[in-house]
Amino acid sequence: MKKSGYSAFNYLTLDYTSIYIRRLGASFVQLGLVGSIGWLVNAVVAYPFGRLIDEYSSRRLMLFTVLVQSLVPLTYFLARDWVWIAVATSLSSLAYFFSQGLENVVMANSLRDEERAKGFTLVTSVSMMPTVVAPLAAAAILTRLGGISAGSLKTLFLIEFLGLAVIGLYIVLRFEETGSLQGSGGGPLLEGLREVLSGSPYLKRWLLIDTISASSYAVMGRYVMVYAQEVKGVDPVVIGSMGAVFAVVGILSSVPMGALADRIGRINTVVLTRPLFHASTLILLFTPDPRLLVLGWALRGTFNPSLSVLAAYRNELVSPDERGRWMGVRELLRRVFMIPAPLLGGVLYTSVSPRAPFLFHMFMDVFVRVPLLLTMPRTLPERG
């Protein structure tokens, strides 16, 4: 209920957030700066929140997460210039981190090893169903309001806030206390880092892979829809169609990808689907017809299911009683290295070429991340 409801309203504005920041007067470097501020705030809270997952009740953490998520679109709506967006971006980054971290640990602890990837992708599939309609609804609203402008985008954020407030109230009233998730705390950061990393010889390598993946994606992440709108000239109808087909392919591929991951291995499944993501980036950069971006986003549709497969995998690298701290350590290191990434993207976009942030991410993924992924072990026994 929570994940599906929040997805429905979040996807009203998701593809327009960076465009909105630009409409409020931000340069490309300033657009990167607000992203860096968000990752900085994330890094500060990453490890403490991971410990809280191990120590405190899921109800308390869920209610706190709901509050933060509801404040995000309200802050965007109230923004008067791009400087205000730094607060909104920080809240948005926290909301995503809190919800994903809490949900992933709860799911990982609730599923058997041989069904974990399929379970993660099934949840992804169900939660993405409302996102088929949301981008098309956003396109219809923006078209009715006269197109993409700061004023029309504010209306979308207001609608999102009202929707999340209603869902949040329902969750507050219905969510039952479940007790602490694990009941084991942990010491200070360095002690927690040492304890978690001592569990497997592959954890350090996974942290390197994860950090490379997150930081290189953050170099281009804030510029995807800005490039599509300002360079390719896509209108709300094309943007809405891109979001809808992305969701449809994600829904259709989620359960089969999870079942495949449970059979041939998580890493093999992710590596097999990765070329589709890069093909979508090449279509974005080089197609002469902006309508072809809809095809590109169909190819990109396996992206969210692949993230679910990796979420299952990384939780299998540690014991259940360490998953909260493991998430905190992982997120802390990722966020520290992600802090300068959006700024680097802005510099590349402005000083080198608008295509440069995208090509940088592709190079790092193909020639660094994927080869490292192939050195990671299977977390399940071979199956016939």
Query: What average pLDDT does the segment 124-129 reach?
Result: 74
pLDDT at residue 220 is higher than 80? yes
- Tokens for 312, please give them: 């299952």
- Tokens 């190819």 — which residue? 299
pTM of the full structure? 0.85
Q: How far apart, in Å, are the Cα atoms of 160 and each of 33, 72, 221, 315?
A: 25, 9, 22, 32
Q: Where are the alpha helices (DSSP H) in the chain?
A: 2-13, 17-23, 28-55, 58-78, 85-110, 116-128, 133-144, 150-174, 189-197, 203-221, 224-230, 236-264, 266-286, 293-299, 303-316, 323-338, 341-347, 356-364, 370-373
Distance CA 294, CA 139 (A): 14
Query: What average pLDDT does the segment 185-211 reach?
Result: 71
Position 46 scores a pLDDT of: 67
Query: What average pLDDT does the segment 147-152 reach?
Result: 95
pLDDT at residue 367 is higher than 70? yes
pLDDT digits (tens, 9 = 90+) for 5-55: 778 888 899 999 999 999 999 999 999 999 898 888 877 776 676 666 656
pLDDT at residue 56 is higher than 70? no
pLDDT digits (tens, 9 = 90+) for 83-103: 888 888 888 777 776 676 666
In percent, the amount of the chain with pLDDT more than 90 equals 47
Quickly name the fold that domain 2-175+189-373 has: Growth Hormone; Chain: A; (1.20.1250)
Position 180 scores a pLDDT of: 47
Position 162 scores a pLDDT of: 95
Q: Which of 35-49, 148-162, 368-382 is least confident?
A: 35-49
